[in-house]
Amino acid sequence: MGERLEARSRFAAETYGFALVVCYNAQRGKWLAVKEVPRKGSTWWLPGGGVDKGEDFRTAAVRETAEEAGVDVRLTGVLRVEYTPFGQCALLRVIFFAEPVDPFVQPKQFADKESECAQWLSELELLQLPPRGPELLEWIQYLNAGYPIMPLSVLERGAKTPLATSEHSLRDGMFYLGACIRAPAVQSMMVHHTCDTPSASSRLLALLLRAPELRSDPHVLEVILNTSPLDRRILQIIFLEPAPVLAARIHGVPIGKYCVIRENWEGAKLLVRMAAFCAFDASELGIDASTIKKILRHK
């Protein structure tokens, strides 16, 4: 009996849950930070707080961010789960990665019991403000270094981690692809439909090397074709299997016709030449013979 009571006592620690949110706004290229109330030093930190009784961590994260920052967020991944015992109690923290539901929303600008205010801030701007601790900046550096973001499913009992497939958009799939991807930069690519900087292009290349099934994904192809100039390294990767790419449809339109509509003559010429090289029926590109001649004459 004594042994059973002793064993039971080992599991009697009261656990307190906290949900924190690292929120990146791809439209602004900035991060969400909260200025805490004076009793906490009026310092800047992550939005987040305690999990209420009967509440799950995801609900708490969304609620606390709305209360402290005045921003509705969409949780997109998990950065860390921490369990820290102390005395007869324990602290369980889940740190989420998120994006704003409305990227143009103005964070809270008035003081209340939750916070003094909140702002979208760049990494440089954060360095100039008094922090509660280094955590937010450390997470920015972590994400910029390309370390992984876990899918939300890690919090579901018995759930398996999904892999990105062609049915996922790049925005959904990128969170499952590991350390090659800098998530904020990939989000920016999707917002602006381009990867026209060397670093962004390299990250997309890493994504395609790691997930071959995304090479013919229409969302990915839209990003690639709207980049000027076209990145030859990426083109070599996606055309390892040319047929699915040439047969792809972007926004329901054949890929060749999409390029013509966008007056993307460089992309259209590439597709026509690749179709000829692969003996692919050019009509499947959605381009007629006269338009093909126009494309090939274009400089």
Angle at which helices 218-225 and 198-210 pack, to 10 degrees? 150
Indicate the pLDDT class of residue 14, thresholds 50, 70 and 90.
confident
Residue 88 burial (C-beta neighbours within 10 Å; 0-12, 13-18, 19+): exposed
Residues 234, 189 contacting (CB under 8 angstroms): no
Q: pLDDT tens, 211-223?
A: 677 778 777 787 7
Q: Does the structure show a pLDDT above 70 at 299?
A: no
Indicate the pLDDT class of residue 31, thresholds 50, 70 and 90.
very high
Q: Which residue has the higher pLDDT, 44 or 277?
A: 44
What is residue 226's DSSP assignment? T
pLDDT of residue 50: 95
Which letter, b or e, does each residue of 53-70 get, where b requires 16 or more Cβ atoms within 10 Å of its Cβ?
eeeebbebbbbbbbbbbb
Q: Does the structure show a pLDDT above 90 at 295?
A: no
What is the distance between the alpha carbons of residues 22 and 46, in angstroms, rounded to a whole number? 6
Work out the average pLDDT over 7-28: 80
Q: Does the structure show a pLDDT above 60 at 177?
A: no
Indicate the pLDDT class of residue 166, thresholds 50, 70 and 90.
very low
What is the distance between the alpha carbons of residues 288 and 100, in angstroms, rounded to a whole number? 43
Please give the mean pLDDT across all residues of the chain: 79
Q: Does the structure show a pLDDT above 90 at 193?
A: no
Q: Does the structure show a pLDDT above 50 at 274?
A: yes
What is the distance between the alpha carbons of residues 20 and 151, in angstroms, rounded to a whole number? 16
R_g of the chain computed on alpha carbons: 24
- Domains delineated in the chain: 2-144 (3.90.79.10), 161-297 (no CATH)
The two three-digit tokens of residue 271, written as one number: 């597709």
